[in-house]
Amino acid sequence: MVSSVVIVGGGTAGWMTASYLTAAFGDRVAVTLVESKNVPALGVGEATFSTIRHFFNYLGLDEREWMPECHGTYKTAVRFEGWREPGHVFYHPFERTGVVDGFPLTDWWVQKKPTGQFDGTPS
């Protein structure tokens, strides 16, 4: 079995990988992360989907503790402007919508006579 792992590069992917391997293997595998203090954060527009809660649960982190401390939110969709034509907006959700009484929340939204925007904001 592998006894040590070196992760080259920090950032979100590096640190999440190191955290996961440490949680998965504990003391059986030595995990070393190497990152340069001279390379600045790239800021590539990362977003946190709600499924990250599964990752944090695996690490033993309770969402009720870390989310308020981070002042964080989950990104649930991406907004495309000018999708069909200038002025048209389209929201692409990142995961399936919830279900209430056997119906997707989108069905409830349609019955409410929406304004044309998925999030209800005016066009």
pLDDT of residue 81: 93
Q: Which residues are catalytic?
A: 75
Give the global pTM: 0.65
Is pLDDT of 109 > 80?
A: no
Q: What's the mean per-residue pLDDT of the chain?
A: 83
Q: Which long-range contacts (CB under 8 A, 24 or more apart) does 49-53 make?
A: 49/74, 49/75, 49/76, 49/94, 49/95, 50/74, 50/76, 50/95, 51/95
Dist CA 18 CA 12 (whole Å)? 10
pLDDT of residue 42: 74
Asked whether the beta carbons of 32 and 7 are under 8 A apart, the reply is yes
The arithmetic mean of pLDDT across residues 57-67, rounded, is: 90
Query: Residues 22-45: pLDDT tens digits?
Result: 999 999 999 999 999 898 877 666
Which of 37, 48, 36, 62 is closest to 12 using CA atoms? 48
Dist CA 29 CA 34 (whole Å)? 16
Dist CA 13 CA 43 (whole Å)? 13
